[in-house]
């Protein structure tokens, strides 16, 4: 299945930007988990457009609705289905540009792959709106991981070349939620916001970087040689529209270091084996080593910009200009932050299921 992720804790996603709904079926969620819409809604709210230049002014009041898998407020072990219903969808803009693929979007590739039958309105199934389904599934995964003490958090570490300074995880947790850019360095966040406002005026967009961290992941998660923890995280994160790169620990910086600098020495601390540094980002040989799992993703600038761009008219195979209508996020990085959390949570939850740390019934 191409729209499913995970082997035991499996998420199947459906829906379109301008269709009836967006939804997720979670198969393999253990029975016995207390779960209500109220557990999921706050996560959904995190990915909602915020009232600022950073994000789209469209109002999407996504209300999650659980369709199956919960009985008397507790998961039953049956497939768990959640949807948000679409509203406020004006498709007229899209009909006009139906045969003009927007640069940087999936319009052209979807057209080719699905023979022109794809729902082109707002990107259809390729819309960032589908990440609402990721987030709903992620909310369930986060709740399950919480029972193991595993915590997943993501935050903005760079926007338009402005970097946040490094902070410890407690500060990140405290600060990141307090500003609309989900950046834990408050000063950098202010600069980022100024940049975004300026770029917006220019009819342009900016990208950035998000760091995801999973704390208290026990050593031993991951299934080599191919179903590695890093491999599956990368695959899940690259499903987020606009993500173009993924690195673990030092990542690309490791390529410029010496082995003597980059190796993380082991030591015993409080009776537990740890490494004194975490250049590996918590993963060795595709398996968690007990240190924080650290991943960073590169988010490209929003492809929808206000300026006229060059494209092709697919009907007559000629060059044609396009001006993308509608209101779009100047920078989608902050809205992608909860999605990064969700994809990490879903992936780690699947590995915890595979390792038997989470079994079929919550006791």
Kindly tell me which residue out of 43, 56, 250, 344 binds a second copy, with binding defined by CB under 8 A: 250
Residue 270 touching a second copy (CB under 8 A): no
- Cα–Cα distance, 44 to 61 (Å, whole number): 9
Give the interface segment with a second copy, choosing from 10-18, 38-46, 55-63, 141-149 (CB under 8 A): 10-18
Residue 69 touching a second copy (CB under 8 A): yes
Kindly tell me which residue out of 38, 170, 265, 270 binds a second copy, with binding defined by CB under 8 A: 265
Kindly tell me which residue out of 99, 173, 286, 292 binds a second copy, with binding defined by CB under 8 A: 286
Residue 19 touching a second copy (CB under 8 A): yes
Q: How far is the CB of 171 from a second copy (least distance, A)?
A: 23
- Cα–Cα distance, 210 to 183 (Å, whole number): 9
Residue 21 touching a second copy (CB under 8 A): yes
The number of angstroms, rounded, from the C-alpha of 259 to the middle of its chain's C-alpha atoms is 32
Kindly tell me which residue out of 144, 145, 176, 305 binds a second copy, with binding defined by CB under 8 A: 305
Between vectors from CA 109 to CA 104 and to CA 114, what angle results, nearest 5°? Answer: 145
According to CB under 8 A, which residues from 202 to 221 bind a second copy? 202, 204-209, 219-220
Residue 59 touching a second copy (CB under 8 A): no
- Cα–Cα distance, 281 to 295 (Å, whole number): 7
DSSP 329-353: -S--HHHHHHHHHHHHHHHHHHHHH
Q: How far is the CB of 358 from a second copy (least distance, A)?
A: 10
- Cα–Cα distance, 302 to 330 (Å, whole number): 6
Tell me the torsion sign for CA atoms 314, 320, 326, 330. Answer: positive
Query: Given the structure tokens 């995801």, which residue do they identify?
Result: 212
Select 168 or 319, whichever has its Cβ closest to a second copy.
319
According to CB under 8 A, which residues from 321 to 360 bind a second copy? 354-356, 359-360
């Amino acid at each position: 299945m191409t729209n499913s992720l995970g082997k035991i804790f499996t998420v199947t996603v459906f829906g379109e930007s301008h269709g009836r709904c967006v939804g997720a079926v979670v198969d393999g969620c253990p029975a016995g988990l207390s779960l209500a819409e109220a557990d999921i809604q706050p996560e959904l709210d995190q990915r909602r457009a915020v009232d600022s230049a950073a994000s789209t002014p469209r109002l999407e009041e996504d209300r999650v609705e659980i369709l199956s898998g919960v009985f008397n407020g507790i998961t039953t072990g049956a497939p768990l289905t959640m949807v948000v219903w679409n509203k406020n969808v004006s498709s007229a803009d899209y009909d006009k540009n139906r045969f003009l693929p927007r640069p940087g979007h999936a319009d052209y590739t979807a057209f080719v792959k699905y023979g022109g039958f794809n729902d082109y309105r707002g990107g259809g199934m390729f819309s960032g709106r589908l990440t609402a389904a990721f987030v709903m599934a992620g909310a369930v995964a986060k709740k399950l991981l919480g029972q193991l003490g595993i915590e997943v958090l993501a935050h903005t570490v760079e926007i338009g070349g402005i970097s946040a300074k490094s902070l410890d995880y407690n500060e990140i947790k405290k600060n990141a939620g307090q500003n609309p850019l989900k950046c834990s360095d408050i000063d950098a966040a202010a600069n980022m916001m100024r940049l975004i406002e300026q770029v917006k005026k220019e009819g342009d967009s900016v990208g950035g970087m998000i760091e995801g961290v999973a704390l208290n992941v026990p050593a031993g998660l991951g299934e080599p040689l191919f179903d590695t923890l890093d491999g599956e995280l990368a695959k899940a994160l690259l499903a987020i529209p606009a993500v173009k790169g993924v690195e673990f620990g030092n990542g690309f910086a490791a390529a410029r270091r010496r082995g003597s600098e980059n190796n993380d020495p082991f030591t015993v601390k409080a009776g537990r084996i740890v490494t004194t540094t975490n250049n590996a980002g918590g993963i060795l040989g595709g398996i968690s080593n007990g240190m924080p799992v650290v991943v960073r993703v590169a988010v490209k600038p929003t492809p929808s910009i206000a300026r006229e761009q060059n494209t092709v008219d697919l009907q007559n195979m000629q060059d044609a200009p396009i001006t993308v209508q509608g209101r779009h996020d100047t920078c989608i990085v902050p809205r992608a932050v909860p999605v990064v959390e969700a994809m990490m949570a879903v992936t780690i939850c699947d590995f915890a299921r595979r390792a038997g740390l989470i079994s079929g019934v919550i006791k």
